[in-house]
Amino acid sequence: MNRFLFKKLLQNQGWDDNVLVSCNENGIITSIENNSIDSTATKINGFALPGFQNAHSHAFQYAMAGLAEVHDVTHTSDDFWSWRKAMYDLALSVSPEQMEAIAAMLYSEMVRHGYTNVAEFHYVHHDKNGNQYDNLAEMGSRMIAAAEKAGINITLTPIFYQKGGFGKDATKDQKRFISPSIDDYYKLLEASKNACQYFEGANIAIGIHSMRGVDPVDIAEVAKNGPQDIPFHIHISEQLKEIEDSLAYLGKRPVEWLLENVELSDRFHLVHATHLTEQETIGIAKSKANVVLCPTTEGNLGDGLFPLSNYQKNGGKWSIGTDSHIGINPLEELRLLDYGQRLISHKRNIFNSSTEGNSGDFAINMATISGRKAMNNFETQYFKVGEKMNALILDADAPLLATSSNEKLSSAIIYTADATNQLETIVNGKTISKQESNRQEIIRDFKRVIGELGNR
């Protein structure tokens, strides 16, 4: 049993002082006691907020983070589609063992920055020749092993990837991704579900790569008749070319088609959804589907800015992800999300004022509750008896945080804190130290693998 005495702990109604949280051997909270003076508990000089949920990750892309910024200036301007070529080159070369090492390094970094859960949008399924492994979930199993090693909970989201574009066959660069039919995808999904049984912190979700990556009729079929009790993730409307191609092929924009052909609900998570009409924006919000925003990646790729203000006015819910992992800090994602909206609106109060104008409280609440749904967790209370203890701990001696009132502390954290203020992360009741011994092994393995790949 672990017993933690925090200087402050954030609950839905605000910050509580001197909070004692007791957990059993499985990391389940057994009691929460405010204003405790228990001298036998592990005293943590920190402010505890709920662990962040990373609702969108492509783990292997961490190996190329920061590398796509070197451009051949003799060619046309660099964009998403040239970046994608570099990504394909990496995807075609990585082995299962290398995949595990890269993912473990990434997940360790996520935990260090305060993420306690990750939805792994995983589409490198086959061997380097495009053939199935004997274990259909070989690569997914590597993701799960990496998560267990790094100490993070994982929602493995094996991706249905079928096409090379609207009405186009897959290309040779996509050969490791492809499930030709719904039945092929269901076999992959079942194998992935079975792989999750070997790690208590793993569960499963459905994933569709995109409207361009799967025949739209098959998307509607999986949404209607596939498993209904797990989350459903899909990339959509990230790039302008995708919308142009969709109009040419379907006569509809991607989100427009989805709203008309799929009965959306709050188990659906639409990743990026950058380019929307007003009707589409309102339609997503009214459907209760969630949007997953990845501001550092969307900014890095030049995707554009999501219409957040109008979406929130209509009750829209969103979470955050790190996607290509050009950035890994959740505070950075939230700041960039807010500041991008301020820059295009010339206003400061962009985040919803439902929490009496407290942008920090609102950002934490939205990222936590909607992010949990992406992991198939519909719990709305931050810390609750009977639930797992997952928390990010901020240093109570950090000057700007130490001097903030309870009313202003959340905003001080969101808008001023950085990695140096992040004291510890607790995952499933266990403290994951920045200096934990297996992290050094993870770093050594990652460096060796990058040397083997020779891409950096």
CA dihedral 385, 386, 392, 395 (to 10 degrees): 30
- Secondary structure class of 104 (helix, strand, coil): helix
CB 180 within 8 A of CB 142: no
Coil/strand/helix, residue 87: helix
The residues annotated with a catalytic role in the active site are 272, 323
Q: Which residue in 295, 294, 307, 293 sits closest to 344, CA to CA?
A: 307
- Where do runs of H (alpha helix) occur along 200-321? 216-225, 240-250, 254-261, 278-287, 295-300, 308-313
Q: In 3D, which of 106, 136, 138 has the Cα closest to residue 120?
A: 106
DSSP 338-364: HHHHHHHHT-S--S-GGGTT-HHHHHH
CB 441 within 8 A of CB 421: no
- Phi then psi dihedrals of residue 272, to 5 deg: 80, -70
